[in-house]
Amino acid sequence: MLARLLWLSIGTFLIGAESFVVAGVLPEIAHDVGSTLAACGQLVTAYALAYAIGSPILATTFSRLPRKPMLIAALVAFAIANALAAVAANLPLLMAARVLLGVSAGLFIPTANAVAVQMVPPEMRGRAIATVIGGMTVAVALGAPLGTLIATQTSWRVPFALIAAVSLLASLGLTIGMPGKMPVTSASLRQRLALAGEPRVLKTLLVTLFWAMSSFVLFVYIAPFLGRFGIHGWEVSGAFFLFGVASAAGNAYGGVIVDRVGSLRTLVAALSVMVLVMGAIGTVASLGTGVAEVVAVLALMVVWGAAGWAFYPAQSARLVEVAPGAAVVVLSLNSSALFFGQAGGAALGSLVQQALPLPDLAFAGAMSALIALGVLAWSQQALTARQARVPEPAE
């Protein structure tokens, strides 16, 4: 059954490769378009906001359309947007291409997640989500390092052109490899907003938002951060590879752990490690830039990737538990929360790196993860109290 989700995973791989490669070539983009690092960092913010806002609107607009054509159309639009980014002559044009990329990704990923959840039995949901999102973590492990390496040897534009071409090929694969009939949802925008406004759902979505902020406040500026340690060019690709392999492993085992011990325990463990590891990265980076610090930071990046990506399948499964009758809609909302968090992390990172030393980016990430952990405890306390108020059935 999980093998049928491979084409969805390939789509998320391409989206992840484009999304994450930007962090690796941000200094090159800034130099080429004649802008500042902070201004180019907003390319991530624009992409994330386009995804977060556009995803529920598009999902509502096309809610009654068959899933297969929708997924194919989203991937074709993604290919076109990559082609536009590859030829963008200045920052405004590149920003517009990134907005289109965010909109197309915002249609593809939530639809793919929702289809995956409804194609498998309930006891396999964690692994189904991990399979689809696994494409994104493999993109961190392979796509982002390879794209960064290609960019350093040629131009930052080349990876965008390659992703555009492969995305078109992947859309043909979806046409051939996916079943014609897949689950359809017809929730309106008002229903989606009403669901997002329910306290139990809203609190859970806030956990996603602050978790995303905790990673992206540093990840967006990871290239200049690593540059402090003398890591440049192809060496950044190597650091991305370590991070990505750990992320892929964390995502895969996160889905398995969820199915064995439950989503709540997995979330608590993942967020607790995130608080510690981000704080440790900031501390090590503040101590110096010698060989020992370089080794320590790279080792901590491995832990960061594993813990950070173990979170996502657990959080997706928890949302389905919180709103079991609206799994498709709540997973779409979760994607929006993730990208609102990515936008917030990129914006916060821009402010921090302009006003404070670069190590403080990691401390900001640790604080965001701690807030996510606090919101998780708050939401669980409210859920437990709500369940306690439900009267026992009469015997």
Give me the tens of pLDDT residue by residue for the chain, a chain 395 residues long.
555 678 788 888 898 888 878 877 888 898 898 888 888 888 888 898 898 888 778 877 776 777 788 889 999 999 999 999 999 989 999 999 999 999 999 888 878 877 777 777 766 766 777 677 777 767 777 777 888 888 888 899 999 999 999 999 988 888 887 766 665 655 666 767 777 778 888 888 999 999 999 998 998 888 888 888 888 877 888 888 888 888 888 877 877 788 788 888 899 999 999 999 999 999 999 888 888 989 999 999 999 999 988 888 888 888 888 887 777 678 778 878 888 898 899 889 888 888 888 889 999 999 999 999 999 998 887 666 555 554 444 43
**pLDDT given for residue 395 in this prediction:** 37
Q: What is the structure's pLDDT at 200?
A: 83
Question: What are the extents of the domains in the chain?
Answer: 2-387
| Domain 2-387, second-level architecture | Up-down Bundle (1.20)
Coil, strand or helix at 327? helix
Contact 20, 308 (CB under 8 A): no
Cα 124 → chain centroid: 21
Write the CA distances from 209 to 157, 203, 217, integer angstroms: 30, 10, 12
Name the CA radius of gyration of the chain, rounded: 20
Which amino acid, one-letter code, is at 369? A
Cα 329 from Cα 10, distance rounded (Å): 22
CA distance 117 to 119: 6
Q: Which amino acid is at 127?
A: R
| Distance separating alpha carbons of residues 206 and 223, to the nearest angstrom | 28
Q: Which amino acid is at 67?
A: R
CA distances from 24 to 77, 112, 219, 240 (A): 24, 26, 9, 8
pTM: 0.78
State which amino acid sits at residue 66.
P
Do residues 331 and 114 make contact, with C-beta atoms less than 8 angstroms apart? yes
Give the DSSP letter of residue 124.
G
- 105: exposed, middle or buried (Cβ count in 10 Å: 0-12, 13-18, 19+): buried
Residue type, 119: M
Distance CA 282, CA 218 (A): 10
The angle at the Cα of 336, spanning 141 to 220, to the nearest 5 degrees, equals 40
Q: What is the DSSP letter of 25?
A: T
- Residue 34 DSSP symbol: T
CA nearest to 109, candidates 192, 18, 196, 23: 18
Contact 258, 320 (CB under 8 A): no
Tokens 């968090």 belong to which residue?
Answer: 341
Residue-level pLDDT at 394: 40
CA end-to-end span of the chain: 42
Which spans in the chain are helix H? 6-24, 26-33, 37-61, 67-87, 91-119, 125-138, 144-153, 157-177, 189-197, 199-219, 222-227, 234-261, 263-287, 291-322, 327-355, 360-389
Would you call 68 exposed, middle or buried from its count of C-beta atoms within 10 A (0-12, 13-18, 19+)? Answer: middle
Residues sharing a CB contact under 8 Å with residue 393, sequence separation 6 or more, in sequence order: none
